[in-house]
């Protein structure tokens, strides 16, 4: 019996803004659109520092793996 294993993910992190300048919406939008064209999905957005800096975390599947499951496994 074959069992699908959980996907293996790779991640990419983008940082926007600084302690003196807030992240520009167009800058973030361009980053997300370019990443989506390469198969990346938005995983999480976190505000850093005083809220003017953003960390954007993307993920995409590396490969779909299968393994042979032994009939004695629960």
How would you write the pLDDT of the chain (74 residues) with one tens digit per residue? Answer: 566 677 789 999 999 999 889 999 999 999 999 999 999 999 999 998 777 899 999 999 986 654 455 555 54
Helix (H) or strand (E) holding 11: strand 8-16
Q: What SS3 state is found at 5?
A: coil
Distance between CA atoms of 66 and 52, rounded to whole angstroms? 43
pTM of the model: 0.72
User: Which residues are CB-contacts of 29 (< 8 A; sequence separation ≥ 6)?
Assistant: none
The answer to whether the Cα torsion of 13, 31, 55, 53 is positive or negative is positive
Torsion of CA 35, 57, 42, 3, to 10 degrees: 100
């Amino acid at each position: 019996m074959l069992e699908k294993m959980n996907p293996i993910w790779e991640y990419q992190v983008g940082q926007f803004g600084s302690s003196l300048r807030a992240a520009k919406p167009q800058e973030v939008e361009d980053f997300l659109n370019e990443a989506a064209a390469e198969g990346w999905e938005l995983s999480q957005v976190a505000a850093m520092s005083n809220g003017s800096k953003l960390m954007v975390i993307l993920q995409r599947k590396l490969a779909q793996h299968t393994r042979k499951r032994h009939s004695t496994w629960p």
